[in-house]
Amino acid sequence: MEESFLLMLSNLLHLHNSLDPTTSLISTTSTAAITTGTSSPLQSPSSPTSLLSSSSPAPLLFLTLAALLSFLASSKTPKSKSPSPPQSPDNSGTPYSVSAFRALSTDHIWSLDPPLRDAQWRSLYGLSYPVFTTVVDKLKPFIAASNLSLPSDYAVAMVLSRLAHGYSAKTLASRYSLEPYLISKITNMVTRLLATKLYAEFVKIPVSRSRLIETTQAFEELTSLPNICGAIDGSPVKIHNLRQSSDQMNNSYRCKYGYNSVLLQVVADHKKIFWDVCVKAPGGTSDAAHLRDSLLYNRLISGDVVWDKVINVRGHHVRPYIVGDWCYPLLSFLMTPFSPNGMGTPAQNLFDGMLMKGRSVVVDAIGLLKRRWKILQDLNVDLNHAPQTIVACCVLHNLCQIAKEPEPEPSKEPDEGGPIPRVMETEKSFHYYGESLRQALADDLHQRLSSR
């Protein structure tokens, strides 16, 4: 019996004795034992017969109340400990909780020196605190409209930590005390917003004259070749645990380096800022095929991109062009090397060396991208969300480059290889002019550098 019931029974006994002292039901000693809960020898109560034969109404009243209390005590279900609810992200006991994040981002963060503050933020989320707040401010209206139950800055921080460290949804779920499906849902929402709402602002073709002049001059200082406005390259992004029902589909995702992937194509400027990003093909696709399927190619072929900077080189009108390796077709707007093995003339070999020097900018940019956002080293999201996740990381990379964030040592990309692509029928006019233009650039370069 519970202590409260024993106390009620003791009080009832005292009440009975005061009403009818001639028929004491229990001795004082027993009453004290009940009240205190200590064990003592029970005293012999009066017999039931004497109780019923008493002329006082008190015994009958006592028996009635005692029976009622006994029934209530026996029928009362014991309190069982309810299972503890899932740990809330507001639980301040974990360093990944909302309260811990809020304390770090509001109170503690401003007490630190800026270099220490930003270094701490980069170690957690891959970028400095000012760049982080820029991302949050730009995404906050869209996240708020989604009725997400978490604060916008907390949701962005959670996704950035996943992108920066390559965590799986399951790993983050245990850290943030959330369900894995919710981590995946938030990741998909934030990366989609980065890839759509911020792409146009931070990934731009350099068509303005001031930016075009800055870019071409910087490339000319690096390579001695005029009017280069960007460098193009493709890179497979490994997909974690790709599952497909068809062997043919599996083969299409297996890249030339032997693992399942999707293909990333980027064009970078001299600052290693991407001004075009395309993720449309499985990893087994060639760089040339991926280029021809891209929006950039269609815009360049159709003349939709107008670069207002034309120079004359040995009677050739040279518009701004991009440079790539021999895996891409030679076109008037895309210069590639004469030979992958240095078997050309001295002028051609010199041109190839300088062109590849310019191309190294995009190789370094991709290496920086994969080092900053380690999730791209083994992409652990659903295949349907892989393109937007990769593009989101490219947007974040540009933000870091624009803000002049420290550059980590870039991861090394494997050496390129593969056959020189054949020229499509629709490209022949661009290819023939590209051949003439490339030779003119090579001869001009050789003459200029030889006369120094």
Q: If residue 262 lies in a helix (H) or strand (E), which one and from where to where?
A: strand 261-268
Span 121-146, mean pLDDT?
94
User: Phi and psi (nearest 5°) for 424?
Assistant: -75, 155
Q: If residue 369 lies in a helix (H) or strand (E), which one and from where to where?
A: helix 346-372
Distance CA 398, CA 373 (A): 12
Span 297-322, mean pLDDT?
94
Structure-token pair, residue 317: 């009108």
Span 344-355, mean pLDDT?
96
pLDDT digits (tens, 9 = 90+) for 65-98: 555 555 555 555 444 444 444 444 454 457 788 8
Is residue 7 very low, low, confident or very high in pLDDT (cuts 50, 70, 90)?
A: low
Q: Has residue 353 got a pLDDT over 80?
A: yes
pLDDT digits (tens, 9 = 90+) for 359-410: 999 999 999 999 999 999 999 999 999 999 999 999 999 999 999 999 988 8
Q: Has residue 48 got a pLDDT over 50?
A: no
Quote the pLDDT of residue 334: 98
Is residue 451 very low, low, confident or very high in pLDDT (cuts 50, 70, 90)?
A: confident
| pTM across the whole model | 0.78
Residue with tokens 């991009």: 322
Q: Has residue 430 got a pLDDT over 50?
A: yes
Distance CA 406, CA 392 (A): 19
Question: What is the DSSP code (8-state) at residue 105?
Answer: I
- From residue 395, alpha-carbon distances to 198, 215, 297 in Å are 7, 19, 20
pLDDT digits (tens, 9 = 90+) for 196-207: 999 999 999 999
Span 312-341, mean pLDDT?
95
Is residue 346 very low, low, confident or very high in pLDDT (cuts 50, 70, 90)?
A: very high
Residues 6 or more apart whose Cβ sits within 8 Å of residue 339: 326, 348, 349, 352
Span 292-317, mean pLDDT?
94
Q: Has residue 128 got a pLDDT over 90?
A: yes
Structure-token pair, residue 324: 């790539």
pLDDT digits (tens, 9 = 90+) for 30-42: 444 334 444 433 3
Helix axis angle for 386-402 and 152-165, nearest 10°, is 100
Mean pLDDT, rounded, of the chain: 83
Is residue 56 very low, low, confident or very high in pLDDT (cuts 50, 70, 90)?
A: low
* CB-based contacts of 208-211 (< 8 A; 24+ apart in sequence): 209/308, 209/309
Q: Which among 319, 317, 276, 314 is positioned nearest to 298, based on CA atoms?
A: 276
Torsion of CA 69, 72, 77, 82, to 10 degrees: -80
- The dihedral region occupied by 220, where left means phi > 0, alpha psi between -120 and 50, and beta the remainder, is alpha
Quote the pLDDT of residue 343: 86
Residues 6 or more apart whose Cβ sits within 8 Å of residue 237: 261, 262, 263, 264, 279, 283, 376, 379, 386, 390
Q: Has residue 339 got a pLDDT over 50?
A: yes
Quote the pLDDT of residue 301: 95
Quote the pLDDT of residue 442: 98
Q: Has residue 176 got a pLDDT over 60?
A: yes
The least confident of 98-112, 146-160, 278-292 is 98-112
Quote the pLDDT of residue 81: 44
Span 223-229, mean pLDDT?
98
Quote the pLDDT of residue 224: 98
Quote the pLDDT of residue 17: 56
Quote the pLDDT of residue 116: 87
Quote the pLDDT of residue 66: 57
